[in-house]
Chains A and B, each alone.
With several copies, the nearest count.
Chain A
Amino acid sequence: MPGERFVVRVATGRDVDAFHALVIESDGALERHAESIEASRATIARTVRSLAGEAGDTERGYVLLLEDAASGEVAGCVQLVCRIGLDQPFYDYRLGKIVHSSSRLKSWRCHDVLYLCNDLTGCSELHSLYVRPGARDLGGAALLTKAAQLFIAGRLAEFAPRTIIEMHGVRGRDDASPFWEAVGRQFFKVGQREAERLVAEGRKAFIAELMPKHPVYLGLLPEAAQATVGGIHPVVAGLVPLLEQDGFHFENHVDIFDAGMVLEAHTRTLNGVANSREVVVETGDPGAGAPSWWLAAGEGEGFRMTAARGSLAADHLSLGPDALRRLGTTAGGCVRVLAATNA
C-alpha cells in the first residue's frame, strides 16, 4: 500500500524551516497561515506548548507532518485545533431553507438562504491539510487524515464532541472564486487573497465590521456564484469520499470566503476513533496477502503513524521489522490499529 513509504509525526521545534517551506510552497493553499517565518515559528511553538501541557484552551493544537520514511524529507502537513473560536469568533455561513407558501396563490417556494453564523464555535478542527505534489498520488492526504483521527483517539479528552474540516471551494479563471466576486467583494471591498491574509494574521475584527448582518438569499445571486455554494475545488475532490467514509458529513455549513463545503463529524464516531483499538505488536513476516492497517504508536512528541500489512490474532498484531521501525517501536510495544479495508 502506498502509505508504507511515509510516516506521520508531530512537528517539533526543529521543524520550523521545513514547515515554513510548505507554507511558502503552497502559495496560499494553507490559507490560515501568514507567510512570515515568525508565523510558522508561532504555530510550531503552539504544538510544543500543547504537548507539554502548557497551552490554554484557546490555543491548544498540533501540527502533524508527513515525512518520507526513507529520505526523512517533509512532504506534507495537517493541523489539529482542539477548540476553535474561543479567542476570536469563527465565522461560516449556514445554508438554511426558508419556505414561503400561499394557498390562495397555490404557490410553494423553498428558498436557500445563507446565514452568517458562529455555530461551529467550540468544535475541533482539521485544517491546513497540504501534501506536496510528489506525494499526492502516494496516498499522502489519506495517511494524514487517518493519522489525525488516530492522534485524536489517543487524546480524546482534549477534543470537542464535534470535529470539522473545511474543503477548498471552487475557483474560476484567474483563481478567483465566483462566490467571492459576487458576495465577499461587495462587503469587504478588497481581494479575497487580501482578506485571507488578514485572517491568517489574526486580524479578524473586520469580519464582524463588514460581513452581512442579514441572511443572503442564494436565489438572488448570480448563477455562477450560486453554483459554487457547498462545492469543492477539484484538487480536494478525491478526499471527500475518504472523509465521508470516516464519518464526516456535509451539514450545511460553508466557508465565508469561497463557500467551500465544511465537513463535520461526531468526534467519537469517527472511523479512526470508534473503530481503532490498542494491541500489542510482535515481529513477523505478514506477507503480501495479509490485511492492511493504519497504525499509530507513541505518545506526545513520540507519536508516529504509518500504514502496513500485518496479521491480527486476538490482541496481537504481527508486523514486519520495517513497519516497526517506522513506528519507532519494538516487539511487545503497544500500537493503535485501524483496519484499512480500502487501502
Chain B
Amino acid sequence: MLTIRPAQHSDLDALAATAARVAAPDVSLPNDPKLLERLVAQSEEALAADIDFPGDEQYLLVATDKGTLAGAMLVVAAAGHPGADYSFRNETIIHASPELGVNHRMYALTLSHDLSGFTLLRPPLVLRDERRGVVERALLQAALGFIAEHPERFAEDLIAPLPGMVDDAGESPFWYAVGSKFFGVAYREAERLALGRDRSFMAELMPHHPIYVPLLPDSAQNALGQTRAEYMPTYGLLIDEGFEAERYVDVFDGGPTFLVKRPLAHSIRIAQMLPLAVDAAIGRGEPDGLLINRETNRFRAVLAPAVRRPDGRVATTAEAANRLELIDDDEVRCVLA
C-alpha cells in the first residue's frame, strides 16, 4: 500500500540511490548524500517547530510501498526566502497601429521577483517504471493536502517549476541564446550556483531590461515554456491539478513555472473531510482514493480503496487506517476519484 510520510534519517540511503538512478535528479532533489542529509534534518526540524508564517523551511515527503522507497517530493515553504526568487515574466505588450493596420502581441521576458515567497513544489522524484504516474500523483496530492492542512506554514500561491527543454546533445537552446550571454560560466555551473542560497550574483549578472522574444533565435523561442519529454507526465499532472503556466519561465533554461492559488488546486478544492470507518468488506474492486491525516510531524497519506458511504463516512481498510494512525470516526482528508 503506497504510503506517504515525512522523510527520516533512515531513508537517506534509499533517497541517495533513487536520486542517483534518475536522470537530471537535481531538478527534484540534490544528487549528493551530504546535501540530502542536511535536507532531511531541515525537514524534521521544520515539522517539529511551531511556525506561524512561511520562511526558509523545506519539507521532504517520501512515498513507500511494501517497505521500499517509491519516490520523494520536496516542498519549499517560501521561494527565495529570505532574498528574492528570480524568474522571467513573459510580458505581453500590445503593439497596435491603426495606420499600419497592425495589432499584435509582442512578448518580452522581464527579470521578475514576483514569485518570491510563494510556496514552491519541486517535481516528484520517482523511478521511471510503470508505477510512476500513480506514485507522482499521490505525492503531489499528498503535498497539497499537507499544505491545505497547514495554511500558516505555506503561502497562498503555489508554484511548480519544470526543467526546460534540451536538444539532442543535452544542451539548452534557451541557455545558449540568453543565459550564456550574461554569465561567464557554463550552464551546469550556473545551475549549481543557482541552487545555492546566495543568489546575489543573479542581480549582478542578469539582464535588467526585458528581452524581446521575437528577436531571439527560433531555437530559443521554441524552447520557451517547454519542458523535457521525460517531464511531460508531470506536466500533465500539474495541468490536472489546475496549475497554469502562462507567464513565468526559468531564467536559465526557459522551462515553465506552474502557478495555482491554493484554494483552486484540484485536490484541495474537491477534498472532503469525513469521519473514518474501517470496513472489512472494503478492498475488492473499490477505487483507490488518497486519504490524508491531519497531523504535522506524524503526517501520513495512503493510497487505498476508499468509498464515501451514504452515512457520510469514508470506508476504507484496516491497513489504511493503521498506516494513517487513525481509528474509526477520526476525521480524514479524502481525495476520492
Contact = CB atoms under 8 A, between A and B. Distances in A.
Q: A and B touching (C-beta < 8 Å)?
A: yes
A183 B204 contact: no
Nearest to B100: A206
Nearest to A221: B215
A190 B102 CA distance: 9
A155 interface: no
Interface magnitude class on chain A: 35 or more
B178 A220 contact: yes
Contacts of A105: 183-185, 193, 201, 204-205
Interface string A206-235: 101110111111011110000000000000
Contacts of A187: 95, 106
B185 A220 contact: no
B99 A205 contact: yes
Contacts of B181: 109, 111, 217, 219-220
Contacts of A314: none
A29 B3 CA distance: 70
Interface residues of B, number: 35
Nearest to A195: B100
B177 interface: yes
A214 B203 contact: no
A198 interface: yes
Interface stretch (A2-10, A94-102, A126-134, A138-146): A94-102
Contacts of A102: 201, 204-205
A190 B97 CA distance: 12
Contacts of B106: 186-187, 212
Contacts of B207: 111, 217
B2 to A, nearest CB: 43
Interface string A101-126: 11011111101010000000000000
B216 interface: yes
Instruction: Summarize A's interface: helix, strand, loop or mixed.
Output: mixed
Contacts of A100: 182, 204-206
A266 interface: no
Contacts, number: 103
Given A108-B184, A209-B95, A222 B217 contact: yes
Interface string A143-163: 000000000000000000000
Contacts of A193: none
A3 to B, nearest CB: 43
A104 B201 contact: yes
A46 to B, nearest CB: 24
A190 B95 CA distance: 13
A96 to B, nearest CB: 11
Contacts of B217: 222
B212 A107 contact: no
Contacts of B96: 209
14 contacts: A100-B182, A106-B184, A107-B205, A186-B212, A186-B215, A198-B99, A198-B100, A206-B100, A209-B99, A213-B208, A214-B212, A220-B215, A220-B216, A222-B217
Interface of B: 93, 95-97, 99-100, 102, 104, 106, 108, 177-178, 181-185, 193, 198, 200-201, 203-212, 214-217
Given A109-B205, A214-B208, 4 more contacts: A105-B183, A107-B183, A206-B100, A210-B97
8 closest residue pairs by CB, A with B = A107-B184, A213-B208, A102-B204, A209-B97, A186-B214, A206-B97, A102-B201, A214-B210
